[in-house]
Chain A
Amino acid sequence: MGLLTNLKDSISRVTDGLFAADEPKRIGIYGPPNAGKTTLANRIARDWTGDAVGPESHIPHETRRARRKENVEIERNGRKVTIDIVDTPGVTTKVDYKEFLDHDMEKDDAIRRSREATEGVAEAMHWLREDVDGVIYVLDSTTDPFTQVNTMLIGIIESQDLPALILANKTDLPGSDVQQIANAFPQHETIPLSALEGENMDEVYTKIAEYFG
Chain B
Amino acid sequence: MPHQCTTCGRTFPDGSKEMLSGCPDCGGNKFQFKPAGETIDADETTDAGETTDAGETTDAGETTDESAGSVTDTPDSESPRPDSQPPEAQTPNAQAQESKTPDAQKTDSEHIRDRTQEDIAQASARSDVVSPDELDQASRDVESDSPTGSDPDSSGDPEGPRPDIDDLRDELNEQFESIRIVSPGKYELNLMELYDRQEYIISLQEDGRYVIEMPDAWGISDE
Known contacts A4-B108, A95-B186; A149 and B191 CB within 8 A of each other: yes
Q: Tell me how far the C-beta of B182 lies from the nearest C-beta in chain A, rounded to whole angstroms.
A: 8
How many residues does chain A have at the interface if contact means C-beta atoms less than 8 Å apart?
A: 47
Q: How far is the CA of A91 from the CA of B217 in the complex (A)?
A: 24
Q: How far is the CA of A131 from the CA of B108 in the complex (A)?
A: 23
Q: Which of B112, B178, B195, B220 contacts A8 (CB 8 A)?
A: B112
Find chain A residues with CB under 8 A from B223 CB.
Answer: 67
Question: Which candidate, A120-128, A134-142, A189-197, A203-211, is the interface stretch facing chain B?
Answer: A120-128
The dominant DSSP class at the A interface is helix
Known contacts A93-B191, A152-B191; A4 and B221 CB within 8 A of each other: no
Chain B's closest residue to A121 (CB) is: B189
A-B contact pairs, 5 of them (CB 8 A): A3-B21, A3-B104, A65-B220, A115-B204, A125-B200
Residue A12 CB within 8 A of the other chain: yes
- Additional 5 contacts, C-beta under 8 A, given A1-B20, A122-B178, A122-B201: A2-B99, A94-B187, A97-B186, A119-B203, A126-B195
Find chain B residues with CB under 8 A from A70 CB.
Answer: 222
Q: How far is the CA of A7 from the CA of B111 in the complex (A)?
A: 11
Find chain A residues with CB under 8 A from B104 CB.
Answer: 3
Q: Tell me how far the C-beta of A111 lies from the nearest C-beta in chain B, rounded to whole angstroms.
A: 4
Residue A46 CB within 8 A of the other chain: no
Per-residue CB proximity of A90-115 to B under 8 Å, as 1/0? 01111111100000000010111011
Residue B135 CB within 8 A of the other chain: yes
Taking Cβ atoms with an 8 Å cutoff, the residues of B that contact A are: 17-18, 20-22, 98-99, 104-105, 108-109, 111-112, 132, 135-136, 139-140, 178-179, 184-192, 194-198, 200-204, 206, 215, 217, 219-223
Which of A4, A114, A123, A125 neighbours the largest number of chain B CB atoms within 10 Å of its CB? A4
Residue A86 CB within 8 A of the other chain: yes
Residue A66 CB within 8 A of the other chain: yes
Q: Tell me how far the C-beta of B109 lies from the nearest C-beta in chain A, rounded to whole angstroms.
A: 6
Q: Which of B18, B136, B192 contacts A152 (CB 8 A)?
A: B192
Cβ contact within 8 Å between B191 and A153: yes
Find chain B residues with CB under 8 A from A114 CB.
Answer: 185-187
Q: Which of A3, A67, A112, A115 contacts B221 (CB 8 A)?
A: A67
Cβ contact within 8 Å between A94 and B202: no
Chain A's closest residue to B196 (CB) is: A129
Q: Tell me how far the C-beta of B153 lies from the nearest C-beta in chain A, rounded to whole angstroms.
A: 30
Find chain B residues with CB under 8 A from A161 CB.
Answer: none
Cβ contact within 8 Å between A111 and B185: yes
Cβ contact within 8 Å between A3 and B99: yes
Cβ contact within 8 Å between B17 and A1: yes
Chain B's closest residue to A54 (CB) is: B223
Find chain A residues with CB under 8 A from B206 CB.
Answer: 115
Q: Tell me how far the C-beta of A41 lies from the nearest C-beta in chain B, rounded to whole angstroms.
A: 12
Find chain B residues with CB under 8 A from A11 CB.
Answer: 112
Chain A's closest residue to B194 (CB) is: A125
Q: Tell me how far the C-beta of A141 lies from the nearest C-beta in chain B, rounded to whole angstroms.
A: 22
Taking Cβ atoms with an 8 Å cutoff, the residues of A that contact B are: 1-5, 7-8, 11-12, 65-70, 86, 91-98, 108, 110-112, 114-116, 118-119, 121-123, 125-131, 149, 152-153, 156
Cβ contact within 8 Å between A112 and B136: yes
Q: How far is the CA of A125 from the CA of B135 in the complex (A)?
A: 22
Which of B105, B136, B140, B194 neighbours the largest number of chain A CB atoms within 10 Å of its CB? B194
Instruction: Pick the 3 closest A-B CB pairs, nearest first.
Output: A2-B21, A97-B185, A4-B21
Find chain B residues with CB under 8 A from A93 CB.
Answer: 188-191
Known contacts A65-B220, A65-B221; A118 and B136 CB within 8 A of each other: no
Chain B's closest residue to A68 (CB) is: B222
Cβ contact within 8 Å between A69 and B191: no
Known contacts A95-B186, A97-B186, A112-B139; A1 and B21 CB within 8 A of each other: yes
Find chain A residues with CB under 8 A from B22 CB.
Answer: 2, 4
Find chain B residues with CB under 8 A from A92 CB.
Answer: 189
Cβ contact within 8 Å between A115 and B200: no
